[in-house]
Structure formats: C-alpha cells, structure tokens
C-alpha cells in the first residue's frame, strides 16, 4: 500500500520536474518525503487530522521554497 502511494507521488514530482516547476537538483529523496514526514508527525502528535490550511502551509511555506527553481 505504501509503495503504491509513493509511486504515485514520485510520478507527480517527476511530471513537475518535466514541466520545469521543480528543480531536479534540489529534489532529493529527503526533500520529497519532507511534506509527508511533517504531516505524519503532526498527526501522531495531535491524534487529529491536519487541517487543510496546515497542509497548504507545509507545501507553500516549507516544501516549495526548497524545490522551486532558483529563478522562480
């Protein structure tokens, strides 16, 4: 189950690289896993689903600045 989900995520990230939305040199395995690690940590610490605005903040404020091309 986890492998299937991860292959979907890898596909999404790969297409973003192909479109030039993500810098492949900045997209390491650890960086790719970071949003999911943060989601899992928050969920385990609070035992509650993460609100949509928190997910958006993880992506917009943490993940994207790490992987966007430097000219973006």
Yes or no: say if 55 and 39 are a contact pair by the CB < 8 Å rule: yes
pTM (predicted TM-score) = 0.84
Tokens found for residue 65: 């600045």
Cβ-Cβ contacts under 8 Å for 9 (sequence gap 6 or more): 32, 36
2 pLDDT higher than 80: no
Tokens found for residue 31: 């960086």
When pLDDT is cut at 50, 70 and 90, the band that residue 72 belongs to is low
The pLDDT value given to residue 19: 97
Tokens found for residue 20: 């030039």
Q: What is the Cα 2 distance to its own chain's centre? A: 15
The pLDDT value given to residue 4: 82
Q: Which residue has the tokens 């030039």?
A: 20
> How many residues in the chain?
72
pLDDT tens sequence across 22-71: 999 999 999 999 999 999 999 999 999 999 999 999 999 999 999 999 87
């Amino acid at each position: 189950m986890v492998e299937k989900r991860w292959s979907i995520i890898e596909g999404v990230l790969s297409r973003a690289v192909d479109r030039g939305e993500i810098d492949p040199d900045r997209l390491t395995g650890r960086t790719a896993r970071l949003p999911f690690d943060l989601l899992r940590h928050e969920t385990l610490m609070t035992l509650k689903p993460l609100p949509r605005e928190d997910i958006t903040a993880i992506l917009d404020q943490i993940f994207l600045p790490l992987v966007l091309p430097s000219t973006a």
